[in-house]
Amino acid sequence: MLTMHLAIEATKLLGERRGIGRYVRNLLRQFVLQRPTMRFTMYVARAEDIAPLHALLASWHEALAARTSIALVDTLPESDADLVWYPWNLITTAARRPMVVSTLDLAPMLQLDDQWWRVLKRMKYRRRYQRTAAKATAILTISEFSKREIVDRLQVDPSRVSVTLLAADDLPLDEAPASLPEAAAAITGPFFLTVGGQEGRKNLRTLYEAMALLHARGMTVPLVQCGPGMSAQTRSQTRSLHGAAPWLMHVGYVTDAQLVALYRRASALVFPSRYEGFGLPVLEAMRAGGAVICADASSLPEVAGDAALLFTWSDASALAEQIMRVLHEPGLREGLATRGQMQAARFSWAKTGAETLACFDGAATQGAQHSLQRR
């Protein structure tokens, strides 16, 4: 449907630039490029968000801003669009038009850490996911693993779920080389890199255990960690388990250019997560020419293919051995980097955009047919 009018629930787009925000940004660029007559209405929570969102869209692509109207989300149920897209995992303000939701993973409704006191919050999310699955005309997700989760846990017909893999070809490889973050700039020898948040499913505990094992063997190789800082409780737990942890160097958030420099300079990215809808840092590191060690859990084997060293997510000793291999096996890092670039080249945002539009077309056609049947 080349002239499609797409409504988008965009209440989080201003505040979420990474993660799902990056997914939305890259898809919007592809929609503009692949469908020159497509137009958009984006729905925001507050009137004061309208002007900043217009400016943000213009910074991404002038045509995107020119072809987009912005309205308040309270008016979304009355939308006359051909289709409504909900990118943020759940249908919030339901519409009377065909609805497509991007459900990237089910993490909020699952017990993936030891925080049992959040059981009520998880139950609420489970109900919200179930309501979303029941209302959606179609569901987009980002790996075969996530599709299986949605089908099995939410009892969804597989024909209603489309897999559109992510990509990393928006990573700025051609910019002027960036220096490492100040805290890591003094490292002259090998170091390992990890990227991501502190929540339990990211499984940093196993990575810390592996680094502590190496330290106990007399190998104090730095671990550079990017992302949000530790809470006081997490910092206390880390110290109680691993002492001063002289191998840990937290550098906080970094720019994309600094991230590329870290991927290229590190001996390997270590990505120990036990649950991911996709696992984009694995693909980013491969595209940048870095080596990858990752858990053999959830979607990560799909993303990594045969281009990474894998380990059982709960086995710190196995992870320590893979780290040792990268340090001591001649040519291993270079071989992983070469295979990784080949693996990353199989993914592109252009393909993701085309497959997403194909799903939209099917849902809009289905909605039009249902509308005719009701007349």
State the pLDDT at residue 235: 55
Q: What pTM, to 2 d.p., does this model score?
A: 0.92
pLDDT value of residue 159 = 97
Instruction: Supply the pLDDT for residue 373.
Output: 45
The parts of the chain modelled with pLDDT lower than 50 are 232, 372-375
Q: What does the pLDDT look like over 237-261, one tens digit per residue?
A: 555 555 668 999 999 999 899 999 9
Q: What is the pLDDT of residue 245?
A: 86
Q: What is the pLDDT of residue 5?
A: 97
One-letter amino acid for residue 328 of the chain: H
Please tell me the predicted confidence (pLDDT) of residue 132.
Answer: 98
Q: Write down all domains in the chain, each with its CATH number in brackets.
A: 5-167+348-374 (3.40.50.2000), 182-344 (3.40.50.2000)
